Structure 1
Amino acid sequence: MTTFLFWNINRKPLEGLLLLLLEEHLPDLVILAECKIPVAILRVRLGQQQIRYRVLEDDPSPRLVFLSRLPRRAIRLVSDDGGIAVRRILPPVGEELLLVAVHLGSKLHLESQEQSLLATRMPQLIEEAEKKVKHTRTIVLGDFNMDPFEAGITSSETLHAVMDRRIATKRARTVQGRERQFFYNPMWNFLGDASAGPPGTYFYSGSAPVTHFWYTFDQVLIRPELLANFRDENVSVLTSAGGISLLDAKGRPDTTTASDHLPLLFKI
């Protein structure tokens, strides 16, 4: 089983909390968004650990930082398109995976309709990568800056990610004469108070007429080919690091001592 950790650290020097997460969960691959921690500092702090991680300094992604404890040959570049980093993952045990790590455009700069329009680029990018690696064991992981129910995630012309794995296992459907592949989105389980943890991964109290307060921007999407070996419990939104809470007294992401996003842990 391969373990992934994604965290948008909001441009903050959170290497201490990050190291606690690494020690606690032992992820094989870590993807950080909005990481402004100097590589030299990361190298020194990682070198102090008993479990060795390395920064993938030669990775070309301009918006994501990768840390790994996998063998060097286990992560290979497929393509890079701004906030979309496509990598082949060859774990020591198990089948090869295709990882699409994302940090998509923010609602601070884009309307929801604009986000959805830009997301229409993703299916072609992903399908081209799948043809290149000759399989569809694909995971899309990261900060989408959209909720699971938005058109940029659910539309057949974008990521076509559905909440029902029974539908996802049909693999595809035909829309207006064209076949569209499915993803399964387990993040629907994290919406609202019925979730096992907080009602989302990001909190914002705005003054606009429509405000959801809690948002699930940080997500993982899974191709049907991987669902036989995937359980919904394999995804978790983390609320602490080494016993230190990442939430404030109101149960929201602690933007003073941690990040405005909560980390996402995923195993496959």
Structure 2
Amino acid sequence: MQGGDKMNLLYWNLKSNKNEEYIALLIKEHSIDIAIFSEYSGTDFSTITHTLLSDAYQFYQGYGGCEKVVMLAKKTIQVEINREHSRYVLYSVISDSSKYIVAGTHLPSNPHTDADGRKMVIRELIADLKEQEKIHKHTYSIIIGDLNASPFDEELIQKDAFNAVLYKEVIQNKSEIVYQHRKFRLLYNPTLNHISETNHQYGSFYYTGDSKSLYWYCYDQILMTRDLVDKFQGMEYCQSINGKSLLKKISPNKAISDHLPLVAKFERSVNDE
């Protein structure tokens, strides 16, 4: 984002497949500044950084505290790993005069856990995020990843979990809510506004395994603090890369991944201290 006016983020659950060329093409096509991946064991990131992206990006794997999430970022961007949990990594990001805290996340899925198990992780994440905001003295914070829950699920909307609202107007007029004599900060979840049958934006994950299936689920999401709401420019679940479809019939092609990539775009947030 050096000298630019946008910051573009990518998240993709890779299903442990070999996806080097797809990743490089996707990063180029959407001018991605920061890319976060999970289930990445089949991908050779050295090939991506040194060959396919011509050494323009740095790979950040962490120090062993999290085996679920890794990052690629432009070398013009300063990245520091601040906190590793088994299910998320908190990064501080500086580009020009813009500062962010980015939480790359992969919450546990059913049947390995349930909503209560995910909420336990979410509460730890929120506490760690607030601690990093105090350290870095700003609240330009983003949570992005595979949340293994849909926008209306209790993990997303419960006050002592993510407490994420689906409408911008709500968080623009109210930064927190009081419940049982306690204050809970609101986050903004833009997913609902960007689902569209007209634009073929159904979700990121296709599942037909039970009688109550929705078919398409929005498990891959981005949440943000109030400070970033007006800078957010949109998101999409990418159904193709460089003209090549990521779908097989109606669902994601599992030979590539069972999840579609999520791309989110922000206007640059200048937040000098």
**1:121: how far off?**
2.7
User: What residue is the counterpart of 2:240 in the other structure?
Assistant: 240
Matched, 1:206 2:209: yes
Structure 1 residue matching 2:72: 3-state secondary structure? strand
**1:190: how far off?**
4.1
Q: Separation in 2 of the partners of 1:165 and 1:137? A: 16
Could you say if the C-alpha distance between residues 263 and 44 of structure 1 is closer, same or farther in structure 2, counting changes exceeding 3 Å?
Answer: same
User: What residue is the counterpart of 1:75 in the other structure?
Assistant: 79
Corresponding letter in the other structure for 2:74: R
User: What residue is the counterpart of 2:183 in the other structure?
Assistant: 179
Matched, 1:18 2:23: yes
Gaps of 5+ in 2: 1-5, 267-273
User: What residue is the counterpart of 1:255 in the other structure?
Assistant: 254
Q: Separation in 2 of the partners of 1:27 and 1:212? A: 30
Match of 2:223 among 221, 224, 243: 221
Q: Separation in 1 of the partners of 2:171 and 2:206? A: 29
Give the alignment's Cα RMSD to 1 decimal. Answer: 1.9
Gaps of 5+ in 1: none
Structure 2 residue matching 1:2: 3-state secondary structure? strand
Aligned positions of 1:1-268 closer than 5 A: 1-37=6-42, 41-49=44-52, 51=54, 52-58=56-62, 60=64, 61-71=66-76, 74-92=78-96, 94-169=97-172, 170-191=174-195, 194=197, 196-207=199-210, 209-231=211-233, 234-250=234-250, 252-256=251-255, 258-268=256-266
Could you say if the C-alpha distance between residues 133 and 101 of structure 1 is closer, same or farther in structure 2, counting changes exceeding 3 Å?
Answer: same
**1:197: how far off?**
2.5
Query: Do the aligned partners of 2:87 and 2:121 also contact (CA within 8 Å) in 1?
Result: no
Q: Deviations over 1:184-207 (max 9, x none)?
A: 10011244x546323111001113
Query: Do the aligned partners of 2:203 and 2:217 also contact (CA within 8 Å) in 1?
Result: yes
Q: Separation in 2 of the partners of 1:145 and 1:57? A: 22
**1:225: how far off?**
0.8
TM-score, normalization by structure 2: 0.88
Query: Do the aligned partners of 1:123 and 1:157 also contact (CA within 8 Å) in 2?
Result: no
Could you say if the C-alpha distance between residues 57 and 229 of structure 1 is closer, same or farther in structure 2, counting changes exceeding 3 Å?
Answer: closer
**1:59: how far off?**
5.2
Could you say if the C-alpha distance between residues 58 and 133 of structure 1 is closer, same or farther in structure 2, counting changes exceeding 3 Å?
Answer: same
Could you say if the C-alpha distance between residues 77 and 242 of structure 1 is closer, same or farther in structure 2, counting changes exceeding 3 Å?
Answer: same
**1:58: how far off?**
4.8
Structure 2 residue matching 1:55: 3-state secondary structure? strand
Q: Deviations over 1:78-117 (max 9, x none)?
A: 211111111111012x420111110110113112343234
Q: Separation in 2 of the partners of 1:197 and 1:65? A: 29
Q: Separation in 2 of the partners of 1:174 and 1:223? A: 17
**1:57: how far off?**
4.4
Q: Deviations over 1:111-135 (max 9, x none)?
A: 2343234433332222112112111
How many residues were matched structurally? 258
Could you say if the C-alpha distance between residues 196 and 100 of structure 1 is closer, same or farther in structure 2, counting changes exceeding 3 Å?
Answer: same
TM-score, normalization by structure 1: 0.89
Structure 1 residue ranges (4+ consecutive) displaced by more than 4 angstroms after TM superposition? 57-60
Query: Do the aligned partners of 2:186 and 2:225 also contact (CA within 8 Å) in 1?
Result: yes
Q: Deviations over 1:50-90 (max 9, x none)?
A: 55223224554321121121336x10122111111111110
Query: Do the aligned partners of 2:24 and 2:53 also contact (CA within 8 Å) in 1?
Result: no
Percent same amino acid among aligned pairs?
24
Query: Do the aligned partners of 1:43 and 1:54 also contact (CA within 8 Å) in 2?
Result: no
Structure 2 residue matching 1:206: 3-state secondary structure? coil
Q: Separation in 2 of the partners of 1:195 and 1:149? A: 21
Query: Do the aligned partners of 2:62 and 2:84 also contact (CA within 8 Å) in 1?
Result: no
Structure 1 residue matching 2:230: 3-state secondary structure? helix
Q: Separation in 2 of the partners of 1:195 and 1:215? A: 17
